Amino acid sequence: MIIVFLLVLIQFVPAGLPDTIAENENDLLYNNQIPEQVAVILKTSCYDCHSNETNYPWYSYVAPVSWLVGKDIREGREELNFSEWESLSKIDKAKHLDNIIDEVSDGDMPMNIYTIIHTDAKLSSEEIEQLANWAEDYAESLFE
Amino acid sequence: MLIVVAGFLFVNFNIADNNIPQEEVKTEKPQYHVPDDVQQIIDNSCYGCHNSESKNEKGKKKLQFDKMSDLKTYKQVGSLADIADVVTEGDMPPEKFLKKYPERQLSKEEQEKLVSWANNLAKQLTPED
């Protein structure tokens, strides 16, 4: 009984879920010719946290899940936000592309807590390779 | 402790050789000189973990100062930008390391020196936006 009461009560604590913005003129995918497969991977496995186009499932609005989701998305966007890609300097683009390669190759991204529920976001070894190869080609093209 | 100190003695961070004939300087891999004061900061606070012989696997994997010049340009720039980030944020050197070696903590001045070196070099290596 007390637990139910507490669950109701915590729903009134603001979760801080960042707003979604559908149209982003500085978006990576919007501004660049990116291979279809890579674009799909980015959208499916990265964009929920690393863009303004978050798809919030219903349970993400329910505390205490909402707190966790809110925190991860705030941190994700702050670290790297593909919706603002074109506003980045070449140096920052290189930094992020370099980090993308390391993170996905090491299996550190997408985060486990995310892929446990979003199973389609889990990257196969083939997808990891596609993403890493794209990031490398793109990064190198910045220095030509 | 001894190993760490020994490691510092073998610091060799891509010192550009000034005697190379002009045409050979134009290699794909950029060569650059690390100013002595910056090199000293790196030796004291970073190199112990971030070198190719490091026993700290995580640090070794992330960045090896002695092999930096072997990297592709974008990776060098990426590493330099990361250096600037983590030093600015105070995330490096890590707390655990500083607990053991408090004398390796970066002073405000050292932090600034390292960050502006990394930022400037990254700019130098990057074509204009």
Please give chain B's pLDDT, 129 residues, in tens: 445 544 444 444 444 444 444 444 444 555 667 899 999 999 999 999 999 999 999 999 999 999 998 999 999 999 999 999 999 999 999 999 999 999 999 999 999 999 999 999 999 999 986
Contact A140 B74 (CB under 8 A): yes
For residues A51 and A83, is the Cβ–Cβ distance under 8 A? yes
What is the reported pTM?
0.83
* pLDDT score at A12: 87
Q: Does B58 touch chain A (CB under 8 A)?
A: no
CA of B2 vs chain A CAs: smallest distance (Å): 32
Q: Does B77 touch chain A (CB under 8 A)?
A: yes
**Best residue of B68, B77, B116, B128 to probe chain A, by most A CBs closer than 10 Å:** B77
Count H helices and E strands in chain B, helices first: 7, 0
CA of A63 vs chain B CAs: smallest distance (Å): 31
* pLDDT score at B25: 42
* pLDDT score at A2: 87
Contact A143 B78 (CB under 8 A): no
Between CA A46 and CA A32 the distance in angstroms is 17
Q: Does A71 touch chain B (CB under 8 A)?
A: no
Contact A95 B123 (CB under 8 A): no
* pLDDT score at A16: 85
CA-only gyration radius of chain B, Å: 15
For residues A104 and A123, is the Cβ–Cβ distance under 8 A? yes
Q: At how many degrees (to 10) do helices B108-125 and B36-45 cross? A: 110
* Residue A143 pLDDT class (50, 70, 90 cuts): very high
Contact A94 B77 (CB under 8 A): yes
Question: Average pLDDT of A113-129?
Answer: 96
* pLDDT score at B14: 44
A143 CB neighbours in chain B (<8 A) are: 73-74, 77, 125-127
Q: Per residue in A50-71, pLDDT tens? A: 999 999 999 999 889 999 999 9
Peptide bond into B94 cis (omega under 30): no
CA of B76 vs chain A CAs: smallest distance (Å): 9
Q: Does B126 touch chain A (CB under 8 A)?
A: yes
